[in-house]
Amino acid sequence: MAKNKNTEQKIFDAATELFMEKGVDRTSVRDIASKAGINLALMNYYFRSKENLFDAIFTNLVKENTRELLKILDSDMDLEEKVQNYVNAYIDILTSNPLLVPFFMAIIHRSQDKITKMKMISNLYGTEKFSQQIVDEGKKGTIRRTDPSHFFVDMISLITFPFAIRPLIMDRNEMSAEDFNLFIHERKEHVTNLLLKNMKDC
């Protein structure tokens, strides 16, 4: 199908995989060159430095993986439908790439500069409309009055954290990768219910 990838793309793809698997700091430019099947010097020819390459990869990963989620948050669905869609979509994304969460966790801890954080916030955390909706529906009485910042933190905690401790969950319960996916799949309904139930008076 796709014709032979060009060199730049080969470097980019190899580095993406390695950064996610082993972490940025445990990946050397020699690893990248060898995995991409290219010469060591070419990494510096196309990207000026390893840090620069990392930047490009990071920006790309954020964009690729948050577009759909932002669309849902900014849509005109009612809150219940929105939460349900968000949880499902988010879990699907992470299931198809379970290393995303550990990778982002590492980056948060690694990079203290504003720019990197802003990239994550404006995407992973871009919830102006969503927050407003929670406040509004609380006032109207559709739902119980809810603090949007806690609600949002609850939601992403319940969705993403299991992927951060995936090796522990798998080991502890003697799960295969498939078993884990099943466990995570169960969480779609579980998490949605937990969140929605809490918004309703009872």
Partner DNA sequence: GTCTATACGGCGATAGAC
Partner DNA sequence: GTCTATCGCCGTATAGAC
Q: Specify the stretch interacting with DNA by CB under 7 A; choose among 35-43, 63-71, 77-85, 123-131.
A: 35-43
Q: Specify the stretch interacting with a copy of itself by CB under 8 A; choose among 5-13, 36-44, 52-60, 183-191.
A: 183-191
For helices 50-73 and 7-22, what crossing angle results, to 10°? 80
Neighbours of 150 (CB within 10 A): 10
Residue 78 backbone zone (phi > 0: left; psi -120 to 50: alpha; other: beta): beta
* Per-residue binding letters, 45-84, with DNA (x by CB under 7 A): x--xxxx---------------------------------
Compute the least distance from the CB of residue 202 to a copy of itself, in Å.
3
For helices 100-110 and 7-22, what crossing angle results, to 10°? 80
Site residues for DNA per CB under 7 A? 6-7, 27-31, 38-42, 44-45, 48-51
Site residues for a copy of itself per CB under 8 A? 23, 25-26, 102, 105-106, 108-110, 112, 114, 117-118, 120-121, 124-125, 147, 149-150, 153-154, 156-158, 160-162, 164-165, 167-169, 171-173, 183, 186-187, 190-191, 193-194, 197-198, 202
